[in-house]
Structures are given as structure tokens and as C-alpha cells.
A and B are shown apart, each in its own frame.
Chain A
Amino acid sequence: AQSVTQLDSHVSVSEGTPVLLRCNYSSSYSPSLFWYVQHPNKGLQLLLKYTSAATLVKGINGFEAEFKKSETSFHLTKPSAHMSDAAEYFCVVSERTNAGKSTFGDGTTLTVKP
């Protein structure tokens, strides 16, 4: 069994300030973890993924996430927010051998203020 909890349903930051989107997971096996972004009226786009290599994962658009097994966390960060980062973000856990049988978090809506 696996589950994902995104700790904040909404996060609001000012442009140029750091972003932190929090995600905790539970899994009965070694999971793969992903962050996806969904802009309004668009499909989901992969930001980054962890699949058992380096625990600090760098993704697109300056985002990165750190896998912390002891804390069962996979928080998403970015040093400096841009207006174009405003979107909904999903943390996802999946079986290592089956990317699609995934469990999505409820999503975090990121608002970026000018």
C-alpha cells in the first residue's frame, strides 16, 4: 500500500522568494517519487523524479527535491519563484516497477505575487 500527503493545499509566495512545497509519503516498498506540475487547462508535466539514485534530485525550471527516507519526505523547492511557476503541483508515489500505478497527492496550488 502507498499513500501521499501534500501538507499544504495552497502556498503563496512573492516573486523572487523561495518556494517550498511539502510532501510526505508512505510505502510498503522502496518507491519511486515524482513531482508533476499542472498549469490551468493543461496536462501534467514531469518536474523531477527520484528512482533510488541520488537523494537530491534536480528537475526542470530550477526545481529540486530531496528524498529523505528517515522522514518519509520528498519536499519540492526552488530558490527564487517566477510568475510562470504559478500552477498546481502534485507529489506522486509509485511502485518501482510500475510507473503508472501511481498514487497522487491532493495537489498544492502555488500562487506567485508580483
Chain B
Amino acid sequence: DSGVTQTPKHLITATGQRVTLRCSPRSGDLSVYWYQQSLDQGLQFLIQYYNGEERAKGNILERFSAQQFPDLHSELNLSSLELGDSALYFCASSPQVGGLSTEAFFGQGTRLTVV
């Protein structure tokens, strides 16, 4: 168990809808990252938040947005969903102590199916 909790584990929704994925990082970790894993694109970094502020952006679509709350949990919002958004969405957290790189600890993922 990595200590990172993602809910829900599975989500099935229709095209055009909006969903919210939730992530609780490991206790004490200030950084939260979101990744998308799909068969055709592999694992792609979407976005990072550090202590409530956006820190880095990857291949995140404009239809997607994220935020990190004061209690450090994070939500990834996906809107106007398309069939191609079906994927496994991972959240990871990292302590990011002193600016040095440490490994990221991954949650179990949320499997999103758009029908």
C-alpha cells in the first residue's frame, strides 16, 4: 500500500459528461501529480500541484483541469468527455523535500470508461 488513495476505482460515464477524480496523497506529501495511462499513449504526465499551487504542466487537454485543496487532496476534473478519454488515471504524491527529487508514490488508479 503506497499510502495514496484514489476514488473512485472505476467510473463509467457517457460521452459529453463531466467527472471528478479524487486523490488523497500520502500523509505529509506536498506534491500531487496526475497521470493518464492509455493503450495508445502509454503513461503521460498531466499536471502537478505543490502545496496548492500548479507547479508543472504536461500533456493536459483544455477540457481537463485540476486543483489541490488546503488539506492537500487533489481533484482532476474531466469535462466534455470523449471515447478517447477512456484510460487509467493515476495520482502520485511526493514529499519534494528541499527541492531534491524523490520518487513519486502512486495510487491504484481510477479506471475511466467513456461509452
CB-CB under 8 A for A100 and B31, given A43-B107, A44-B90, A49-B103: yes
Question: Is the beta-carbon distance between B45 and A99 smaller than 8 angstroms?
Answer: no
Question: Is the beta-carbon distance between B94 and A100 smaller than 8 angstroms?
Answer: yes
Range for the number of chain B residues in contact with chain A: 20 to 34
CB-CB under 8 A for A99 and B107, given A44-B90, A45-B2, A90-B43: no
Question: Is the beta-carbon distance between B101 and A94 smaller than 8 angstroms?
Answer: yes
Total A-B residue contacts, Cβ distance less than 8 Å = 67
Range for the number of chain A residues in contact with chain B: 20 to 34
Taking chain A's interface residues, is the majority helix, strand, or loop, or is none over half, making it mixed? Answer: strand
Question: Is the beta-carbon distance between B101 and A95 smaller than 8 angstroms?
Answer: yes
Q: Which A residues lie within 8 Å of B106 (CB)?
A: 36, 43-45
Does A102 make an interface contact (CB < 8 A)?
Answer: yes
Report how far A26 CA is from B106 CA in the complex, Å. Answer: 24
Which residues of A come within 8 Å of B, CB atoms? 32, 34, 36, 42-46, 49, 51, 90, 94-107
